[in-house]
């Protein structure tokens, strides 16, 4: 945050009534995108804003990225694409999750571009365009090792040879293991995609997602498409995260109580207190996207990983006690001095003191899931130091 940062928007629950709050630092988001754009050069850099911009809101994220220079966006669904167009009408928007024929009128009217990933979709798109003087553009997705969406490499090569007058405007593939820099599958995917590009001469290509931008083999492609790294997530496993945290999630303390040594806490009596324990009960739970698997005890994950999640307050990390429940989570604040935490105060769940990915690991998951699971009961504050958007 900077001295010029302004509180530009408030959404979600009334702060007087909400049990938790989210602070979204749009300056950090823009700084992350600019860093990724610099690393991608000479390629242009798009932005993946599917899942409502990873849970942060297309309506807030897209305008600041547009202002920063982003002109191309990727979404999963056409409905999301329409929301991007509503706030950035001149943006180029690619829709990743396949094409259904009944949606064709929407593509005609909205200037969205589908990413076609099967021979069936290509045939359908061609048939629907048959009556048009000017054919609508599309991108082509080729599977080079993910075994998810996309034509096989052989299908794509045949298509390139048979369709001289019907070329995509963009050729893409998706990396399966780019966050593991030395994984052999990434090597094979880069090599396969490079050979494939020879059959689509003159057509722009895109392979690099967030971790792909940091991969040593990422060179010579025209468009990168970062997602989670923009939102503060780790792009590559095992190295220090170069991205700034974007989201701070906090839960409000409802009550502080003392449990006596030998007593238990929470559902299932899974947490037995080994000392007199001061407990902060906070208004957050799995209904808010704070996952039950982060519980301090009483969940299968604790059989594999000893430690559950933790919060941060008064300069210290405080562990979760017992199970995360639907609406409430308990933290052990015994290490804090009396008066350092009280009802009404906030405990950080993740942010600048507990990283998004550390919070996710404690729950046995990834930062993507925490972000996209954020519920609608939080009070949301958007901060931005740029001009009015």
Query: Residue 148, annotated ligand binder?
Result: yes
Cα–Cα dist 282/279, whole Å: 9
| Burial of 189: CB neighbours in 10 Å, binned 0-12, 13-18, 19+ | buried
- Reduced 3-state DSSP string for the chain: CCCCCEEEEEEECCCCCCCEEEEEEHHHHHHHHHHHHHHHCCCEECEECHHHHHCCCHHHHHHHHHHHCCCEEEECCHHHHHHHHHHCCCCEEEECCCCCHHHHHHHHHHCCEEEECCHHHHHHHHHHHCCCCCCCCCEEEECCCCCCCCECHHHHHHHHHHCCCCCCCEEECCCCCCCCCCCHHHHHHHHHHHHHHHHHCCCEEECCCHHHHCCCCCCCCCEECCCHHHHCCCCCCCCCCCCCCCEEEEEEEEEEEEECCCCEECHHHCEECCCCEEEEEECCCHHHCCCHHHCCCCCHHHHCCCCCCEEEECCEEEEEECCCCCCCEEEECCCCCCCCCCCCCEEEEECCCCCHHHHHHHCCCCHHHHHHCCCCCCEEEEEECCCCC
Catalytic entry in 41, 50, 195, 382:
50
Query: Residue 146, annotated ligand binder?
Result: no
Catalytic entry in 135, 195, 261, 267:
267
Q: What are phi and psi of 379, to 5 degrees?
A: -85, 130
| Token representation of residue 121 | 């979709």
Instruction: Mark whether 50 is an active-site residue.
Output: yes
- What is the C-alpha R_g of the chain? 24
Q: Are 271 and 332 in contact (CB under 8 A)?
A: no
Instruction: Mark whether 267 is an active-site residue.
Output: yes
Cα–Cα dist 200/142, whole Å: 12
Quote the Cα angle for 154-219-53, to 5°: 85
Residues that constitute the known binding site for substrate: 148, 326
Catalytically active residues are 50, 267
């Amino acid at each position: 945050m900077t001295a010029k940062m302004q509180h530009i928007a408030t959404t979600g629950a009334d702060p007087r009534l909400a049990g938790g709050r989210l602070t979204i630092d749009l300056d950090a988001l823009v700084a992350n995108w600019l860093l990724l754009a610099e690393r991608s050069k000479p390629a242009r850099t798009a932005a993946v804003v599917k899942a409502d911009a990873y849970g942060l809101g297309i309506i807030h994220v897209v305008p600041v990225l547009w202002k920063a220079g982003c002109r191309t966006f990727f979404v999963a669904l056409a409905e999301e694409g329409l929301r991007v167009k509503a706030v950035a009408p001149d943006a180029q928007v690619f829709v990743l999750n396949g094409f259904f024929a009944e949606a064709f009128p929407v593509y005609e009217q909205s200037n969205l571009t589908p990413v076609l990933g099967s021979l069936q979709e290509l045939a359908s798109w061609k048939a629907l365009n048959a009556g048009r003087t000017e054919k609508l553009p599309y991108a082509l997705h080729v599977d080079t090792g993910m075994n998810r969406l996309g034509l096989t490499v052989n299908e794509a090569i045949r298509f390139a040879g048979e369709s001289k007058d019907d070329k995509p405007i963009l050729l893409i593939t998706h990396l399966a293991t780019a966050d593991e820099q030395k994984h052999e599958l990434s090597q094979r995917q880069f090599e396969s995609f490079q050979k494939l590009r020879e059959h689509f001469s003159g057509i722009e290509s895109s392979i690099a997602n967030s971790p792909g931008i940091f991969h040593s083999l990422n060179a010579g492609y025209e468009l990168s498409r970062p997602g989670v790294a923009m939102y503060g997530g780790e792009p590559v496993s095992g190295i220090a995260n170069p991205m700034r945290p974007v989201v701070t999630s906090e839960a409000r303390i409802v009550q502080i109580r003392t449990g006596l040594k030998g007593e238990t806490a929470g559902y299932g009596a899974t947490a037995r207190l080994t000392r007199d324990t001061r407990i902060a009960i906070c208004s957050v739970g799995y209904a808010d996207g704070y996952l039950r698997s982060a519980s301090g005890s009483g969940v299968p994950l604790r059989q594999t990983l000893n430690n559950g999640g933790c919060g941060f307050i008064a300069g210290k990390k405080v562990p979760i006690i017992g199970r995360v429940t639907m609406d409430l989570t308990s933290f052990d604040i015994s290490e804090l001095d009396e008066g350092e935490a009280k009802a009404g105060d906030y405990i950080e769940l993740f942010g600048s003191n507990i990283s998004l990915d550390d919070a996710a690991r404690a729950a046995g998951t990834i930062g993507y899931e925490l972000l996209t699971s954020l519920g609608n009961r939080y009070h949301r504050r958007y901060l931005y130091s740029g001009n009015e958007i």
